[in-house]
Amino acid sequence: MHKGSASFFYERIAPYLPLMPIASAQQINCVGESTKTFDFVDVPIGGDTSYVNCVLEAMRYVGRKSGLSFQEAQHLPMLAKMGMLKVVLNDLYATNQIPPSNELELVKLAVKETANSIGKQTDTEITVTPKQLSDTYRLVLAIKEKVSRYDDNVFPMPLFSETIDETIGFICDWSLFGRMRRDISVEKLAGKSRVPPIMRPIELTLVPDSVAHFAEVAKAMRHCLNLCVLLSNQRTLVRNSYTLRVCLIEHLFVRVIPLPLPITHPQRDVLCFWHAQPMRYETQADIMRLLNMLCRHFATAALSVKTTRSGDAVRMLVFSCMATICDAVMRKSAVDIPSFSSLHYAGTAKGPVRPFGFDLGMI
């Protein structure tokens, strides 16, 4: 930055003398008038390449230095805008060609801006005379009338020559206007309303929070299976059907059904939920079948949701619990009619046992 340039003076020296920016120093002179009055306006966002705003601001500032108030000084830019509108009107009358659409839009903006400036001069301190207001009004109307002749976006107001009666006699002669007729009913054209789908309630609370014996285990698993079937059949009506099934089965196997103790546990015969109480054959077969169906539902639902770290942990944990419970049920010998497969799996079968070829589906 050259020390003799104008930038050096206005950006370095002028702010240094009062120890504040130039605009802030200028506001000190108008503090007594109004705290909302500013003698400097911001530069337009698009810039001031034509220097029109600079000229208007200079006129207003000259008025302020001459002793005019802030409202009175705004009268000078208003007069300049009115003069420019008169020049625009003369050009519109003198031209023989249709102005471009972008120039017509500029004329519309100039009319709005001038009308806004005149309106502000009548807010607190009235600086315009009635004759100036009437002259400006006629000027604006003349420009709008001239612009409307060239503007394709201006449409004349429609004239309705019909009476209050809404019936139009020749409406039947119009094509494709049958639905606007008022002399016949058109309700039959709407057709039948759509029958809403039947949605059965899904009571997730049917699955208990704890179980005490094998009958309650089979009951809880049956309720869980029925709820999964309902969620599967109504997946288009119930939001997050797959997520609900995953959470329901996880709750059943992780928090409700107790896991068996290890085979080598010293108090397994007393404390183990699966080994300490007797089980009948039909209960054993029912639990195994329910395990099979719930495992299928969980595999389908778990592979249909978004993959996350917690989701992978839930998959491995639930399948591990299912496998553990399946092992405990298979090792259980029924008290009424024990199955050969469970006796063979538990190692309690009598006599020689075939190592291969036995039927696990006998239960």
For 269-317, how does the pLDDT look when each residue is reduced to its tens digit (9 = 90+)? 889 999 889 999 999 999 999 999 999 999 999 999 998 899 999 999 9
At which residue do the structure tokens 């770290």 appear?
309
Here the tokens at position 203 are 């009571």
pLDDT tens string 50-83: 777 888 888 887 887 788 887 788 888 888 888 8
| Confidence band for 321, pLDDT divided at 50, 70 and 90 | very high
Prediction pTM value: 0.46
The whole-number pLDDT of residue 260 equals 92
Bigger pLDDT: 139 vs 319: 319
The whole-number pLDDT of residue 33 equals 46
Task: Answer positive or negative: Cα dihedral of 220, 329, 304, 251.
Answer: positive
| Residues in Cβ contact with 269 at an 8 Å cutoff, skipping those fewer than 6 apart | 275, 276
**Lowest mean pLDDT segment, chosen from 155-159, 234-238, 354-358:** 354-358
**Lowest mean pLDDT segment, chosen from 3-12, 103-112, 265-274:** 3-12
The whole-number pLDDT of residue 363 equals 47
The whole-number pLDDT of residue 362 equals 46
The whole-number pLDDT of residue 25 equals 63
The whole-number pLDDT of residue 280 equals 92
The whole-number pLDDT of residue 108 equals 82
The whole-number pLDDT of residue 35 equals 44
261, pLDDT greater than 60: yes
The whole-number pLDDT of residue 221 equals 96
Q: Give the percent of the chain with pLDDT over 90.
A: 29
36, pLDDT greater than 60: no
176, pLDDT greater than 90: no
Cα–Cα distance for residue pair 135/151, rounded to 1 Å: 24
Write the CA distances from 213 to 28, 216, 239, 342, integer angstroms: 89, 6, 34, 20
173, pLDDT greater than 80: no
The string over 31-55, giving b where at least 16 C-beta atoms fall within 10 Å of a residue's C-beta and e elsewhere, is eeeeeeeebeeeeeeeeeeeeebee
Here the tokens at position 141 are 């109307």
Mean pLDDT on 161-179: 60
Mean pLDDT on 87-109: 79
| Residues in Cβ contact with 52 at an 8 Å cutoff, skipping those fewer than 6 apart | none
Bigger pLDDT: 213 vs 179: 213
Is there a contact between 122 and 128 (Cβ–Cβ < 8 Å)?
yes
| Confidence band for 167, pLDDT divided at 50, 70 and 90 | low
pLDDT tens string 322-339: 999 999 999 888 888 988
Bigger pLDDT: 221 vs 55: 221
- In the chain, domain spans: 41-150, 205-362
Write the CA distances from 36 to 27, 30, 47, 175, integer angstroms: 10, 9, 24, 64
Provide the mean pLDDT of the chain.
Answer: 80
Cα–Cα distance for residue pair 147/229, rounded to 1 Å: 71
